[in-house]
């Protein structure tokens, strides 16, 4: 059995498990994968809020699935044994929406929409559940590994698309500025001092564009900040009952997290607003 923290598994995905064939080879070679629900390092959190509209559907979705009780071991085993039947497959997916919702809090990166993660996680589960084998470890760990890997690749694809747009824009801008400078330099000997200063400013602008190009090119998955803090993730999981045996009230959460009266509600509303935010960019230029 192999035990990995969440960030260890993320690094493994980014280094070696991008291809599905490599992912299942890894599961086969490391029988009994167990994903530990912790991280070694801290994840950066977005500091600047994004003023985009809120989607009421998110709160409604979380409220609805909070009533889906997890499957017992016997029920889960029955579903796996009859996975070819739609009824059992649908039951398994429906019950695991809680786990998908919980994982999505941790991968809600700047510029990513929460409900898009729910969709990606559900699709990943549907596409891979037939491949599950007991030798891979517990079903829950298998599903978590499948979903986390899918989230990483989904976010990375979004990042590549955004980087391509920025790099294309900056490259074209640089070409335009270089042409402008070349035209100015041809007449530099016969222009006034003030115009020569303008030429120097154009050259400085090109240098700034080069710096920005380098900055954008070097942005990778690990540098995209999360929208939610650890406390915000905790309070959402506790409130909707994704952690523990039951849902907790704001008052109970304040006690368990050691918060002052009123702090829990403010923290919860801030977290819910972040989860419900639609739109945004993966990074800013």
Q: What is the reported pLDDT for 203?
A: 58
Q: What share of the chain is helix, strand, coil (3-state, %, to 5)?
A: 70, 5, 30
Other residues' Cβ atoms within 10 Å of the Cβ of residue 32:
14
- Report how far apart the first and last C-alpha atoms of the chain are (Å, whole number): 44
Average pLDDT over residues 193-220: 72
- Domain membership of residue 238 (yes or no) is yes
Distance CA(26)–CA(16), nearest Å, equals: 9
In a domain, 21, yes or no: yes
**Cβ 4 vs Cβ 36: under 8 Å:** yes
pLDDT band at 235 (very low <50, low <70, confident <90, very high): very high
Average pLDDT, the chain: 86
Alpha carbon distance 104, 171 (integer Å): 35
Rounded to the nearest 10 degrees, the angle between the axes of helix 56-65 and helix 263-276 is 110
Rounded Cα distance between 241 and 102, Å, is 10
pLDDT for the residue numbered 273: 92
Q: Is 235 domain-assigned?
A: yes
Residue 186 lies in a domain: no
- Which domain does 163 fall in, by range? 1-170+205-285
Greatest alpha-carbon pair distance for the chain in Å reads 88
How do residues 54-66 score in pLDDT, each as one tens digit? 668 999 999 999 9
Under a CB-based contact definition with an 8 Å cutoff, are residues 281 and 111 in contact? yes
DSSP calls for 134-163 = GGG--HHHHHHHHHHHHHHHHHHHHHHHHH
**Does 184 fall in a domain?**
no
On whether residue 198 sits in a domain, the answer given is: no
**Rounded distance, CA 166 to CA 161, Å?**
9
What are 90-127's pLDDT values in tens digits? 999 899 999 999 999 999 998 899 999 999 999 999 99
pLDDT digits 0-9 by tens, 133-171: 888 989 999 999 999 999 999 999 999 998 888 888 888
- Does any domain span residue 188? no
How many domains would you assign to the chain? 1
Question: Within its chain, how far is the Cα of 151 from the centroid?
Answer: 6
pLDDT tens digits for range 24-41: 999 999 888 999 988 888
Residue pointed to by tokens 């559907």: 57
Model confidence at 42: pLDDT above 90: no
Give me the residue label for tokens 């912790």: 38
What is the DSSP code (8-state) at residue 277? Answer: B
CA distance readout (Å), 272 to 42, 56, 111, 253: 21, 10, 16, 15
């Amino acid at each position: 059995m192999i035990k990995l923290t969440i960030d260890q598994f993320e690094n493994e995905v980014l280094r070696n498990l991008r291809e599905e064939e490599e992912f299942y080879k890894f599961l086969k070679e490391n029988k009994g994968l167990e994903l530990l629900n912790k991280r070694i390092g801290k994840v950066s959190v977005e500091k600047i809020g994004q003023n985009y509209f809120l989607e009421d559907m998110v709160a409604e979705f979380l409220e609805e699935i909070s009533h889906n009780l997890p499957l017992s071991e016997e029920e889960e085993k029955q579903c796996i044994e009859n996975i070819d039947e739609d009824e059992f497959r649908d039951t398994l997916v429906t019950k695991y929406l809680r786990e998908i919702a919980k994982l999505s809090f941790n991968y809600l990166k700047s510029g990513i929409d929460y409900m898009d993660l729910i969709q990606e996680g559900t699709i990943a589960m549907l596409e891979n559940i037939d491949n599950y084998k007991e030798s891979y470890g517990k079903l829950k760990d298998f599903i978590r590994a499948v979903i986390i890997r899918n989230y990483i690749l989904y976010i990375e694809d979004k990042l590549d698309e955004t980087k391509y747009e920025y790099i294309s824009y900056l490259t074209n801008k640089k070409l335009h500025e270089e042409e402008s400078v070349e035209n100015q330099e041809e007449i530099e000997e016969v222009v006034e001092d003030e115009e020569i200063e303008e030429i120097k400013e154009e050259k400085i602008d090109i240098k700034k564009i080069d710096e920005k190009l380098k900055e954008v090119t070097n942005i990778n998955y690990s540098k995209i900040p999360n929208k939610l803090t650890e406390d915000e993730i905790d309070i959402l999981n506790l409130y909707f009952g994704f952690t523990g045996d039951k849902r907790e009230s704001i008052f109970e959460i304040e006690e368990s997290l050691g918060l002052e009266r009123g702090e829990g509600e403010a923290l919860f509303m801030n977290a819910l607003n972040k989860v419900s935010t639609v739109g945004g960019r993966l990074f800013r230029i």
